[in-house]
Amino acid sequence: MQKKTFPPGEYKKDPGKFITLEGIDGAGKSTHLCGLEKILGERGKTVIVTREPGGTSVGEALRELLLDSSRAMHAETEALLMFAARREHLDKIILPALARGDWVISDRFTDASFAYQGGGRGLATQKLDKLEQWVQGEFQPDLTLYFDVAVEVGRQRISAIKSADRFEKEQNEFFRRVREAYLQRAQRFPHRIKVIDSNQPLDEVKKSLEKIILSICL
């Protein structure tokens, strides 16, 4: 029998849910990802944790290219590569997992393209809309947790952890535009995107996160 592949725009939701985490670099989403996985695991869910760009062999190779600070590229090349990685991610990881009834948590998804390539780099939203439609049809996360943090706080957090990649080397002004684009998307899709104030102490952020997950997903 031929393997059934994903027809963009015709995806039917299965019981597993798709949760995405978003925020500017240094917003703390990776820290809270483990907590989220634990909450869901304790409630008997099979959870697949993945990331973008990445999550597949091709996607991780594209990630290396995209984050390499020695490789400058056109903003549209950057957007196309992000969506190419996403297409692979949907086909190999996200959709098969949801079809099995698993839960998928992805560290970033399409909102990041609208925020970074749209807001940050200034690409026209209509172009990104077309790529979104091509790659994922009407498919959207069930829930997006947007960790909102002041640009200066985010910057401080990353500089304390590791050497900066191609995005993290951008100036504060770039991250202000990215943050603004995220906030606009949260306003536009209030049912899907929940804003978590990540300027608060870790414990408070954790509590907010738990509250949202327990009320929406279980």
> Site residues (CB under 6 A) for ligand TMP?
25, 51-53, 82, 107-108, 112-113, 116-117, 167
Nearer to ligand TMP, 40 or 82 (CB): 82
In whole angstroms, how close is the CB of 52 to ligand TMP at the nearest point? 4
Q: Which two tokens stand for residue 24?
A: 């500017």
| Minimum distance from residue 215 beta carbon to ligand TMP (Å) | 26
Residue 65 tokens read as 């290219």
Our CB check for ligand TMP shows the closer of 52 and 102 to be 52
SS3 50: strand
How many beta carbons lie within 10 A of that of residue 172, not counting itself? 11
For ligand TMP, the closer of residues 45 and 108 by Cβ is 108
Query: Rounded distance, CA 132 to CA 130, Å?
Result: 5
Min dist CB 156 to ligand TMP, Å, is 16
CB of 87 to ligand TMP, least distance (A): 12
Nearer residue to ligand TMP within complex by CB, 108 or 155? 108
Interatomic CA distance for residues 46 and 43, integer angstroms: 9
- What is the β-pairing status of strands 143-148 and 103-107? unpaired
